[in-house]
Amino acid sequence: MVKFTKMEGLGNNYIYINNIEEKVPEERLPELARAVSDRNFGIGSDGLICVLSPTAPGHDFRFRIFNADGSEAEMCGNGMRCFARFVYDRGLTSKTRFLVQTLAGTIVPELILGENGQVTAVKVDMGPPHLRSTSIPMAGPEREPVLDAELEVEGRRFVFTAVSMGNPHIVIFVDDVAAVDLAYWGPRLEHHFLFPRRTNVHFVQVLDSANLRMRTWERGSGITLACGTGASAVLVAAHLKGLAGREASVQLPGGSLRIEWAADGHVYKTGPANYVCTGEFLRPW
């Protein structure tokens, strides 16, 4: 039996466990992720996020995320917002701003509280974007930035910009995101040989310099309603191409995020974090 909480940020939904208390062996977390994410025989989610004690000095918590297929990701922006609310509401910290250890480095969420003291939104310092091809990572000659690069899939040419927010993203600008067959092209682009660790795939429509619309194929999870690191990468890519300013509203199928690429070089993302349910996972795994 594992106690869990299901949360969502703009429809990007994950199962959360306080593994400081649950003490699931970390080598079994990929297996648990596959079990809880199953929408027929499990709870149903985009993956599993675990609260752990930090192993790096100076941090308050450690964050691990596993996709629905059991593969581990470096970070998740929507997941981090919910993570921050989870640890605060559960009394694991009284801080409204704290340091979280992730595979993408140190992430700093800040809770925005309403008059009643409840969390109304979470702002996350996502850190600086990484634009060097070897940091994304991408195969081929090193370059920075990877702007208007080209690749071919089944005879179709795609022009993309690559950005890492601690995890890999490619951003493809189109006239109409609704017209993209995301279920077909997403997995083919995710697994392209240019990306040794695979990649998240985003198709983006520029509405104006302050408003962007995107659809996402997430590495290891498929089509999702939102992707926080992806929205951050999209704003960076749009600004690099002169299509947007340094701050914009990014519209995703699950709702909107406010993204800012600030003067300090860091990307800041603000959005909601909501509860779905709590319970006990009883199925053997």
Residue ranges of the chain with per-residue pLDDT less than 70: none
Determine the pLDDT at residue 16: 98
Domains in the chain: ranges and CATH: 2-123+272-281 (3.10.310.10), 133-265 (3.10.310.10)
Binding residues: 12, 67, 77-78, 167, 200, 218-219, 228-229
Expressed in angstroms, the distance from the first to the final Cα of the chain is 10
**pLDDT, tens digit, for every residue of 230-261?**
999 999 999 999 999 999 999 999 999 999 99
Q: Is 227 a catalytic residue?
A: yes
pTM of the model: 0.87
Average pLDDT, the chain: 96
Burial of 141 (0-12, 13-18, 19+ CB in 10 A): exposed
Give the integer Cα–Cα distance in Å for 74 and 171. Answer: 18
Residue tagged active-site, from 50, 82, 227, 277: 227
> Would you state the pLDDT for residue 240?
98
Q: What confidence tens digit (pLDDT) does each residue in 74-107 have? A: 999 999 999 999 999 999 999 999 999 999 999 9
- Measured CA to CA in angstroms, residue 149 lies from 52, 159, 160, 182 at distances of 39, 6, 5, 20
pLDDT at 135: 96
Position 140, amino acid = G
Annotated binding residues for substrate, written as ranges, equal: 12, 67, 77-78, 167, 200, 218-219, 228-229
Distance between CA atoms of 245 and 211, rounded to whole angstroms? Answer: 10
R_g over Cα of the chain: 18
Residue type, 48: L
